[in-house]
């Protein structure tokens, strides 16, 4: 294969501030139907799923087709990865067949190995450490409600310091908005990611969800036990008592505040039915926006 510069989207800081804003602008134009090009015509995206998914699979597959390309669904059971083939071997082989690889997996190192040994763009569909495509969809949703300039928006994250919290920190690091993180002891975000973000944005950490939500423009959360943590559900339910987003809590946010959730949601646990289905909820727009931002990322990297 000919040598060329290959760019990846493993984490939000892989793109500069301007590149992130340009990608969001492209996604918005795609959503409005103003972009009709087919930059993936004749190209194939391999989609590797070590973790199952609804939104990630459907949005990437539909998005690839809409851009003129073809998507291959590859679960761990379908390929030799499930029988112990090293990631570095698979990366070099798949790079000779396809034009890009999206992976949704557990270990961040799998993603790094793909990018190190592969020779096509790699996109992070989710790892236990990061979920950048979801945050890009969230940022597009925020822009739709508050305008393109994100610098004055105050974002509250309530719950686990998980891959979503880490990716919110990465977004604040690049874009400079205020981020409030509320999490119980023992559920802290990645220390290095937190420290880096603090050097570029106003990052507030607290054990009190009410403190994070009060005066926020965006309130968002996630399930308390993510995929692979089901055996911890009872302990987490106890540890996260008081962290449910309720109508009363939303009333302390700004008058313009919206609620986000990356889904699937457990009604009555991390969020009440009234908030999820209420007038401030933007979760369905947010879910749709996965399609548009991922199309923009693929067009940028693979087009």
> pLDDT truncated to tens, each residue of the chain (303 aa)?
345 689 999 999 999 999 999 999 999 999 999 999 999 999 999 999 999 899 999 999 999 999 999 999 999 777 766 667 899 999 999 999 999 999 999 999 999 999 999 999 999 999 999 999 999 999 999 999 999 999 999 999 999 999 999 999 999 999 999 999 999 999 999 999 999 999 999 999 999 999 999 999 999 999 998 767 778 889 999 999 999 999 999 999 999 999 999 999 999 999 999 999 999 999 999 999 999 999 999 999 999
Tell me: do 166 and 112 sit in the same domain.
no
pLDDT recorded at residue 2: 42
Tell me: do 64 and 101 sit in the same domain.
yes
Q: How many CB atoms lie within 10 A of CB 13?
A: 17
Tell me: do 157 and 280 sit in the same domain.
yes
Let me know if residue 1 belongs to a domain: no
pLDDT recorded at residue 226: 77
**Residue 239 preceded by cis peptide, ω within 30:** no
Tell me: do 142 and 255 sit in the same domain.
yes
pLDDT recorded at residue 227: 67
Q: Rounded to the nearest 10 degrees, how much is the dihedral formed by the CA atoms of 91, 125, 198, 257?
A: 170
Let me know if residue 56 belongs to a domain: yes
Cα–Cα distance, 256 to 280 (Å, whole number): 8
Binding-site residues sit at 53-56, 80, 104, 131-134, 163, 222, 226-227, 262-263, 290
User: Out of 131, 180, 236, 292, which one is annotated catalytic?
Assistant: 131
pLDDT recorded at residue 233: 83
Cα–Cα distance, 41 to 35 (Å, whole number): 15
Tell me: do 219 and 273 sit in the same domain.
yes
Tell me: do 149 and 246 sit in the same domain.
yes
Let me know if residue 3 belongs to a domain: no
131 catalytic per annotation: yes
18 catalytic per annotation: no
Structural domain count of the chain: 2
Binding-site residues for carbamoyl phosphate sit at 53-56, 80, 104, 131-134, 262-263, 290
Which pTM value belongs to this model? 0.96
Binding-site residues for L-ornithine sit at 163, 222, 226-227
134 catalytic per annotation: yes
Whether the Cβ atoms of residue 248 and residue 280 lie closer than 8 Å to each other: no
- Helix ranges (DSSP H) in 71-131: 87-94, 108-117
Tell me: do 20 and 142 sit in the same domain.
no
Residue 208: give the domain boundaries: 134-286
104 catalytic per annotation: yes
Tell me: do 275 and 157 sit in the same domain.
yes
Tell me: do 298 and 263 sit in the same domain.
no
Let me know if residue 2 belongs to a domain: no
pLDDT recorded at residue 1: 39
pLDDT recorded at residue 113: 95
244 catalytic per annotation: no
Residue 92: CATH number of its domain: 3.40.50.1370
282 catalytic per annotation: no
């Amino acid at each position: 294969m000919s040598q060329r510069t290959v760019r990846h989207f493993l984490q939000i800081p892989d793109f500069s501030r301007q590149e992130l804003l340009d990608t969001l602008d492209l996604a918005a134009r795609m959503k409005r139907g103003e972009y009709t090009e087919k930059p993936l015509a004749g190209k194939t995206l391999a989609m590797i799923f070590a973790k199952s998914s609804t939104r990630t699979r459907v949005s990437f597959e539909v998005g690839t087709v809409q851009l003129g390309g073809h998507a291959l669904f590859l679960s761990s059971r379908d390929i030799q990865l499930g029988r112990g083939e090293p990631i570095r071997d698979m990366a070099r082989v798949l790079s000779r067949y396809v034009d890009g690889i999206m992976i949704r997996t557990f270990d961040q190192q799998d993603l790094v190995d793909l990018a190190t040994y592969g020779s096509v763009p790699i996109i992070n569909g989710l790892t236990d450490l990061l979920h950048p495509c979801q945050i890009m969809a969230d940022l597009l949703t925020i822009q739709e409600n508050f305008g393109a300039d994100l610098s004055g928006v105050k974002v509250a994250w309530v719950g686990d310091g998980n891959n979503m919290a880490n990716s919110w920190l990465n977004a604040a690091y690049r874009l400079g908005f205020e981020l409030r993180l509320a999490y119980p002891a023992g559920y802290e975000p990645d220390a290095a990611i937190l420290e880096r973000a603090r050097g570029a944005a106003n990052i507030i950490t607290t054990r009190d969800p009410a403190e994070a939500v009060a005066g926020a423009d965006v309130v968002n959360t996630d399930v308390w036990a993510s995929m692979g943590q089901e055996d911890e559900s009872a302990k987490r339910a106890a540890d996260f008592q008081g962290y449910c987003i309720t109508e009363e809590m939303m009333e302390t946010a700004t008058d313009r505040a919206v609620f986000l959730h990356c889904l699937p949601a457990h009604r009555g646990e991390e969020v009440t039915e009234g908030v999820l289905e209420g007038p401030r909820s933007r979760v369905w727009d947010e879910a749709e926006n996965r399609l548009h931002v991922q199309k923009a990322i693929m067009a940028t990297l693979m087009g």
